[in-house]
């Protein structure tokens, strides 16, 4: 799919042996404390690095979900009345174990999700960070006191544990997103049942084993955390169960369209973190060195498989040509290959469907008037026919066509030109998703315009950084077809609790609100 003028992207020769990868996975799992019996199942766990098998695990059935929820309901009866700072001690211990086994868990993430070692270690660091934040939250689950209109009355709100939380996570962040939900849910007094992606069972086994150790070390109820490996039927049973108070699901917009009405239909709560068609505006005053670095990481990192991956660049006509040349030049230096090898920056796609989606999108882009500047070609196929390594692609587009408005979960960045900032913001917002966004500019007025109420319509809006790489302290999530949920920092803990408004009458009289008389 490359043009004749394109130089091939740098690649790393050689891929590891499947036996070696399986041994690494086993050692990392056992180091985390996973039971060896967990590797004696009949469902293959594969690695996108070679397409080979790492281990075999046992899947739960939909019928087992009811038993797991029952155990969680029993645990909730004890956990909800445990003082929040004591609940925080469990999360503190989890954070300590994650720090101790950071490299072990990162190995599993690299092997199953195809992330580079640096990105995998960064994901585990996110888990450690959210534990730190949640421990602080355990002493700060604030309510408010409001003035009452009635003399001798106190009006206040209190926050209480909500109930069983179901977590359905995706392959691209196989452990971090679980930890965002779990650390906060646990300090809020909620047990958690986790159904991870079918593509990353070993990472979830390792993470769950560390939490099981923390539970044992702190004397917390055994079933405040449960892991259910399984397929779609297990996820659906969790979605539909009437005793799952909150269902937190990360995945595609298509999945969200199915989950939301089913949970709402039983009057449960849901927290959805769905897709993103994230863009950066590059203004005439932008520092292009900064912009290129931000674009390359956000668009090509994790092989384009982050929900916050940059998928569109909207650049001013005065800088767009130079910007494209510089981004393409940077892309041609990216080392593609075994993500556990030093120096490799781009690992594999998760599998064949992702590659097929990418090639279909590039075909559609050219049919809609686009020009592939570089990338799009599959590499290392001769070394691993069942693995899917691709050169990240840069595509110039004549406008925001149908394929540009569509999220493609692969390393494709579409480049559009604009003349006026209002035009750029309109292009930016004219997509169904609203997750992450950025603007590169040295003009303070442009930055403020982008962050204003009529600027970016995303849940995350950045200035002079890319669209990916959110910090734990800020609430994470987006608008429109991204789902509207918020996880992690800020006051996201409120999603995991129920609010009660309390009125205390100490007056000895019984005045009614609004001056109502009833006598």
pLDDT (tens digit, 9 = 90+) per residue, 334-356? Answer: 999 999 999 999 999 999 999 99
* Exposed / middle / buried, residue 149 (Cβ in 10 Å: 0-12, 13-18, 19+): exposed
| Least-confidence region, from 22-26, 267-271, 503-507, 514-518 | 514-518
Question: Would the pLDDT of 189 be above 50?
Answer: yes
| Cβ-contact 481, 433 below 8 angstroms | yes
Percent of the chain with pLDDT over 90: 95
Give the pLDDT band of residue 469 (cuts 50, 70, 90). confident
CA distance 409 to 171: 12
Give the span between the Cα atoms of 239 and 166, in whole angstroms: 8
Give the active site residue among 273, 407, 446, 481: 273
**Residue 5 confidence class, pLDDT cut points 50, 70, 90:** very low
- Residue 126 appears among annotated catalytic residues: no
Residue 6 above 50 pLDDT?
Answer: no
Q: What are phi and psi of 225, to 5 degrees?
A: -135, 130
Q: How confident is the model at residue 1 (pLDDT cuts 50, 70, 90)?
A: very low
Angle at 389 between CA 478 and CA 465, to 5 degrees: 35
519 has pLDDT over 90: no
| pTM score of the predicted model | 0.95
Residue 2 has pLDDT above 90, yes or no: no
Classify the C-alpha dihedral 429-452-278-366 as positive or negative.
positive
> At residue 10, does pLDDT exceed 90?
no
Of 204, 154, 155, the C-alpha closest to 177 is: 204
Task: Check residue 13 and give its pLDDT.
Answer: 59
Q: What confidence score (pLDDT) does residue 470 get?
A: 83
The structural domains of the chain, ordered by start, are 33-274+483-499 (3.40.605.10), 278-463 (3.40.309.10)
Burial of 399 (0-12, 13-18, 19+ CB in 10 A): exposed
């Amino acid at each position: 799919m490359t043009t004749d003028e394109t130089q091939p992207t740098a690649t790393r020769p050689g891929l590891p042996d499947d036996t070696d990868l399986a041994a690494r996975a086993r050692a990392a799992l056992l180091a985390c404390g996973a039971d060896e019996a967990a590797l004696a199942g009949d469902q293959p766990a594969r690695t996108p690095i070679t397409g080979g098998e790492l281990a075999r695990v046992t899947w739960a059935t939909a019928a087992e979900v009811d038993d797991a929820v029952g155990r969680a309901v029993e645990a909730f009866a004890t956990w909800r009345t445990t003082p929040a700072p004591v609940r925080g001690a469990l999360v503190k211990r989890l954070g300590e174990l994650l720090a101790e086994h950071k490299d072990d868990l990162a190995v599993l993430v690299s092997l199953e999700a195809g992330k580079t070692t640096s990105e995998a270690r960064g994901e585990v660091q996110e888990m450690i960070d959210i534990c730190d934040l949640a421990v602080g939250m355990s002493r700060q689950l604030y309510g408010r006191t409001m003035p009452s209109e009635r003399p001798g009355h106190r009006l206040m709100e209190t926050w209480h544990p909500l109930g069983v939380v179901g977590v359905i996570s995706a392959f691209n962040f196989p452990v971090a997103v679980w930890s965002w939900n779990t650390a906060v849910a646990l300090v809020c007094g909620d047990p958690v049942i986790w159904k991870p992606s079918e593509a990353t069972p070993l990472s979830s086994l390792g993470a769950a084993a560390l939490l099981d150790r923390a539970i044992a070390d702190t004397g917390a109820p055994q079933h405040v955390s449960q892991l259910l490996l399984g397929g779609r039927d297990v996820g659906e049973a969790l979605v539909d169960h009437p005793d799952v108070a909150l269902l937190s699901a990360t995945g595609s917009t298509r999945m969200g369209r199915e989950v939301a009405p089913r949970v709402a239909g039983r009057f449960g709560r849901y927290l959805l973190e769905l897709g993103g068609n994230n863009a950066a505006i590059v203004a005439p005053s932008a520092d292009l060195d900064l912009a290129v670095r931000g674009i390359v990481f956000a668009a090509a990192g994790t092989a384009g498989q982050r929900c916050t991956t940059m998928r569109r660049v909207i650049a001013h006509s005065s800088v767009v040509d130079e910007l494209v040349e510089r981004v393409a030049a940077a892309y041609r230096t990216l080392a593609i290959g075994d993500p556990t090898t030093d120096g490799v920056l781009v690992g594999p796609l998760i599998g064949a469907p992702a590659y097929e989606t990418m090639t279909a999108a590039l075909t559609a882009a050219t049919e809609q008037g686009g020009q592939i500047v570089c990338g799009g070609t599959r590499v290392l196929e001769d070394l691993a026919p069942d693995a899917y390594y691709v050169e990240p692609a840069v595509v110039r587009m004549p406008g925001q066509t149908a394929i540009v408005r569509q999220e493609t979960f692969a390393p494709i960045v579409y480049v559009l030109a604009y003349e006026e900032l209002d035009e750029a913001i309109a292009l930016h917002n004219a997509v169904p998703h609203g997750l992450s966004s950025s603007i590169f500019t040295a003009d303070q007025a442009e930055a403020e315009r982008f962050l204003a109420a009529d600027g970016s319509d995303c849940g995350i809006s950045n200035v002079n950084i890319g669209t990916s790489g959110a910090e734990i302290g800020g609430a994470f999530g987006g608008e429109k077809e991204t789902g509207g949920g918020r996880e992690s920092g800020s006051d996201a803990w409120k999603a995991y609790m129920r609010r009660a408004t309390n009125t205390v009458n100490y007056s000895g009289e019984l005045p009614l609100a609004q001056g109502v008389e009833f006598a």
